[in-house]
């Protein structure tokens, strides 16, 4: 019988990797042309004295965690970095004594939220720091024990107590909610950003990349067989309808059978405009309406959980299920949202794996067998190696069959990695990537990617990290992104 792992945390280091973007990416109120990925390396000591290291990483995404218009891009970045540093200090303190991953996570999460409250950060921002530490800890335990993430959940090596998060889940084990076997492939739900070209002809000669990768949606459906879409909408119902009509026309011409989700990124200030958009889509684009799976947080977080909107939220969810995303900043948010009429909640590694597992169990608990309540798999510009692999390992364990992917669309393959890392991906993760001349990129075939190589000790990718190719946080210049 496998025992719950009790570990000590010995050290935490921070690194940054700059990742040039091949095209601008607009989400919500910001358009990114450059990005940086914050990396965490944690060293732990197992009960037998063995040392093991684990990694975690997230793109530093401004104006998603905190959309306060009075905060600068640089301030957003510093908030995320300082929250991660504060969480590391807490984890080192808590982990000085041997404890389970869950006990360390529980104390670290609470302390991180308390720190954020004291420093004026919203809880989505404050919880990102602890989520990085959580993933590095889980990765290290997997490496030290020789167990994959899925196996750690089946055996509850992490000591997870889901009933400690939601009382309704008392007695529910991680093994009760994960897939019997981790998925070996998953459908890519391709992000169609607000400024992304729909057709080849939308790309001017000046903007044409010709870098070996698709650029327009038309090229993605032709060359990669994409059949799932996540379409960004911007809050202007007339403009949003026009864009949806253009997308629907393209897919109809190509005779593509597809499924789609809409992502409002908090851009709708009231329900009336959203209802009007849905009614028009249903009336004038019936095939697209029929193929819509759900709508991801269209309402600003200031009103998304307003009890006075419960009737409207429930009415929209009766048409197409609404999913909570940016407002999901506390452990009990999904429970509150479900009471208002929301039906889904996003799983994003940046919000935490333990939280996602608890939300998946809560969705299962709320559901009557009809699939009315659900957890989805969404991206926050995850790119290789660490962010991408860890998110995909988590999705595979939960058994979610399609996952939003956008990071690979906005960076050129694995160009941002060192040659040592690219070679590790070629040799250790050949099913996931393809080599085409100088380009090493995700191998998306018939709209799917192969996850089989990720079932290895830890969270699927730490052994491919070349720390010599990273910049230590203390040596990184934040102005490289903010100037």
For domain 174-472, the question of CATH label 3.40.50.40 is answered with no
Paired tokens of 78: 């510093």
pLDDT at res. 437: 94
pLDDT at res. 481: 62
Mean pLDDT taken over the chain: 94
What average pLDDT does this structure show over 444-459? 97
The answer to whether the beta carbons of residues 404 and 259 sit under 8 Å apart is no
Q: Where are the domains of the chain?
A: 8-161, 174-472
Architecture of the domain defined by 8-161: 2-Layer Sandwich (3.30)
Q: Which 3 state secondary structure label does DSSP give 59?
A: strand
The DSSP annotation for 109-159 comes to HHHHHHHHHHTT--HHHHHHHHHHHHHHHHHHHHHHHT-BHHHHHHHTTT-
What average pLDDT does this structure show over 438-452? 97
For residue 380, what pLDDT band results from cuts at 50, 70 and 90?
A: confident
What's CA 237's distance to the chain center, in Å?
27
What CA–CA distance (Å, rounded) separates 482 from 75?
10
pLDDT at res. 30: 65
Residues in the chain: 483
Residues 280-324: tens digit of each pLDDT: 999 999 999 999 999 999 999 999 999 999 999 999 999 999 999
For residue 479, what pLDDT band results from cuts at 50, 70 and 90?
A: low
For residue 24, what pLDDT band results from cuts at 50, 70 and 90?
A: confident
What CA–CA distance (Å, rounded) separates 187 from 223?
15
For residue 369, what pLDDT band results from cuts at 50, 70 and 90?
A: confident
pLDDT at res. 483: 42
- What Å distances lie between residue 164 and 104, 106, 183, 261, 393, CA to CA? 13, 9, 28, 32, 24
What average pLDDT does this structure show over 76-96? 96
Alpha helices in 157-259, H assignment, sequence order: 217-223, 237-253
pLDDT at res. 34: 76
Residue 189 has pLDDT above 80, yes or no: yes
Residues 172-184: tens digit of each pLDDT: 999 999 999 999 9
For residue 73, what pLDDT band results from cuts at 50, 70 and 90?
A: confident
What average pLDDT does this structure show over 445-461? 96
For residue 347, what pLDDT band results from cuts at 50, 70 and 90?
A: very high
Paired tokens of 14: 């921070």
pLDDT at res. 276: 96
Residues 239-296: tens digit of each pLDDT: 999 999 999 999 999 999 999 999 998 999 889 999 999 999 999 999 999 999 999 9
pLDDT at res. 206: 94
**Going by C-beta distance under 8 Å and a sequence separation of 6 or more, which residues neighbour residue 287?**
248, 252
């Amino acid at each position: 019988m496998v025992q719950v792992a009790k570990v000590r945390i010995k050290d935490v280091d921070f690194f940054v990797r700059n990742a040039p973007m091949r095209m601008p990416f607009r989400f919500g109120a910001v358009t990114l042309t450059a990005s940086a990925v914050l990396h965490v390396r944690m060293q732990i000591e197992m009960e037998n004295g063995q040392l093991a290291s684990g990694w975690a990483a997230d793109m530093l995404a401004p104006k998603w965690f905190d959309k306060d218009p009075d905060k600068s891009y640089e301030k957003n970045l510093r908030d995320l970095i300082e929250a991660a540093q504060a969480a590391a200090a807490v984890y080192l303190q808590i982990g000085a004594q041997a404890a389970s991953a869950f006990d360390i996570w529980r104390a670290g999460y609470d302390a991180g939220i308390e720190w954020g409250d004291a420093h004026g950060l919203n809880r989505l921002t404050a919880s990102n720091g602890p989520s990085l530490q959580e993933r590095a800890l889980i990765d290290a335990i997997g490496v030290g024990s020789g167990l994959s993430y899925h196996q750690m959940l089946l055996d509850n090596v992490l000591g997870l107590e889901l009933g400690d998060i939601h009382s309704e889940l008392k007695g529910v084990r991680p093994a009760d909610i994960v897939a019997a076997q981790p998925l070996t492939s998953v459908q890519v739900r391709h992000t169609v950003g607000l400024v992304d070209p729909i057709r080849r002809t939308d790309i001017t000669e000046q903007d044409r990349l010709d870098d070996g990768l698709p650029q327009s949606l038309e090229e993605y459906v032709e060359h990669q067989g994409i059949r799932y879409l996540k379409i960004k909408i911007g809050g202007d119902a007339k403009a949003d309808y026009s864009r949806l009509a253009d997308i629907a026309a393209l897919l109809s011409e190509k005779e593509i059978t597809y499924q789609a989700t809409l992502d409002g990124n908090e851009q709708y200030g009231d329900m009336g405009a959203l209802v009007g958009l849905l009614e028009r889509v249903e009336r004038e684009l019936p095939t697209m309406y029929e193929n819509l799976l759900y709508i991801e947080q269209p309402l600003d977080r200031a009103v998304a959980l307003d009890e006075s909107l419960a009737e409207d939220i429930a009415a929209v969810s009766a048409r197409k299920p609404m999913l909570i995303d940016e407002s999901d900043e506390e452990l009990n948010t999904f429970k509150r949202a479900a009471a208002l009429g929301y039906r889904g909640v996003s799983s994003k590694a940046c919000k935490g794996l333990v939280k996602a597992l608890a939300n998946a169990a809560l969705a299962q608990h709320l559901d009557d067998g009809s699939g009315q309540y659900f957890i989805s798999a969404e991206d926050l510009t995850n790119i290789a190696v660490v962010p991408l692999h860890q998110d995909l390992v988590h999705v595979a364990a939960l058994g979610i069959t399609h996952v939003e992917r956008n990071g690979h669309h906005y960076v050129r393959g694995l160009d941002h990695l060192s040659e040592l890392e690219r070679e590790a991906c070629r040799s250790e993760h050949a099913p996931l990537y393809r080599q085409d001349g100088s380009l090493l990129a995700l191998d998306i075939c018939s709209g799917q990617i192969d996850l089989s190589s990720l079932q290895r000790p830890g969270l699927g990718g730490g052994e491919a990290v070349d720390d010599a190719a990273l910049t230590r946080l203390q040596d990184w210049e934040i102005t490289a992104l903010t100037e």
